[in-house]
Each structure stands twice: as C-alpha cells, then as structure tokens.
Amino acid sequence: MKEVIAIIRMNKMNETKRALSAAGISSLTARKVVGRGKGKVDYLLLEGAKSGYEEAINQLGPGPKLIPKRMLNIIVTDNLVEKVVKTIIKVNQTGSPGDGKIFVEPLIDAIRVRTGESGDLAIVEDAVPAANEV
Amino acid sequence: MLMVRAIVRPEKVDEVLSALMYAGFPSVTKMDVYGRGKQRGMKVGEITYDELPKELIFTVIEDKDKTFVIETILKSARTGTKGTFGDGKVFVSQIEEAYTVSSGIKQL
C-alpha cells in the first residue's frame, strides 16, 4: 500500500478529480497549501544578499514568496501507483515550471473505521458502488 | 529520498523558510495545522487551550542532506538558544519515488 502525495495547480483540481475517477480511483484527500519550488532565484543573488549588497537584497524582496497550491493525498494499493501517477501527470502537465510534484511514500497499514478491516481490504474500492450508481 | 515534516511555531515560519532558502533548499510546502503535544495544550489561568495553532512544513530531500536540513530547521525554529515547550517536532519518512509534473521525469 502506498500514499501518493501530489502537489498541483489550484485550477487543475476539477480536471484531476474527474480524470482520477475515470481511472477508477475516486478516494482522495485534498488540502489547500502554500509553498515554493526550486524557483528562479539566482544563487549568486542569494550570496550577494548574504554579504550585504543593497542591490541584491532589493531584488530578492522582503520575504520568501509562497504560491497557493492543492495537495492531494491518495492512498492506493501497490499495483495502482503507476496509474495514479500517470493520470496526474497527464492532466496537470503544461510544461512550464510550477506544475507540481508527486511523491510516493510507503504505508504500513490502513484501517477502515466503519468495519475495522485493515490492510489492502480497507482501501480497495471495487466492492463499493459509486454514489451516482446507487 | 526523505520527506521531512516539521511542525513549528507560526511566528517562526518565516525564519525557518529563509534559513532553508539560504541553506540551498528552496522547495517547501506549508500548511496551517492545529494540535497538541505532550503538555496537553496550554493553560492560561482558568482557560485551557487544547489545540494550539502551528505550521506544518514539508520538504523532500536527498538522503545525504538529512542531517544538514534537520540541523537548519532545528536551529531556526528554536526559541532562544535552549528552546521551550511548544517549539515543535520534526518527522522524517522515506519517499520511494518523486516525479516532476512539468517534465514528467522521475526525479526530485
């Protein structure tokens, strides 16, 4: 069982959700986060600011700039990881920096609160009909 | 690769972020969280604050940078030189794969 942590653009959220449920992965947790990436900050500038050059400090601005993003936490069985990653990349790729990152983290256990099932049984979706099918 | 999750005081966030930037680790994600620690919240007179506001900082790094990044976070997040209760915690977990969406390449 793996946790896929994806950080994506705010305006790609609906598209991503639609694509994921079309791929058969409907459960996810989403959060609004802020953050920054590798950025385009020149390290010479940083060095300059560190050694106290006015010019460099002015160019850097007052503080670190953080950009709003959406963070998705998707917990899936091992065999679905590739599908999730590919779907997210396909939908979110615009080619310019700031598209986001995807991390895959191993999980030890998951437990479904309703039934107390644990392990892979707690996260498989096959048995549960989708809301619009009921 | 490792994911470092640091829970720090809201007023220390800017300091931690700029320390990380200067240390050469600009990529971070931040979110607001509420929680309590070993001290079971905070008691001010009659009032008990069960859940205190904190900030959660995520960053993913290469294995070799672990000690340096953690040292940087600890140094900048500590209150004073000795630190006090409520300064936060740092958790480290293993990341198996990382992808950059814009290029689709499997790397940090």
Per residue in A47-71, pLDDT (tens digit) is 777 777 777 766 666 555 788 999 9
CATH of domain B2-94: 3.30.70.120
Q: Where are the domains of chain A?
A: 2-38+64-133
Annotation: CATH topology of A2-38+64-133: Alpha-Beta Plaits (3.30.70)
Residue-level pLDDT at A42: 63
Domain boundaries, chain B: 2-94
Structure tokens at B13: 């966030």
Residues in B whose CB is inside 8 Å of some CB of A read 1, 3, 14, 17-18, 21-22, 24, 26-31, 58, 60, 93-104
B-chain residue closest to A50, CA distance: B22
- With bands split at pLDDT 50, 70 and 90, how would you rate the model's confidence at B23? confident
Q: Do B21 and A41 touch (CB under 8 A)?
A: yes
> For residue B85, which phi and psi values (nearest 5 degrees)?
-60, 140
Q: Which of B14, B16, B29 should be substituted to probe chain A, the one whose Cβ sees the most A Cβ atoms within 10 Å?
A: B29
Give Cα separations from B52 to A113, B11, B32, B82, B93 (angstroms). Answer: 26, 13, 11, 21, 24
ipTM: 0.82
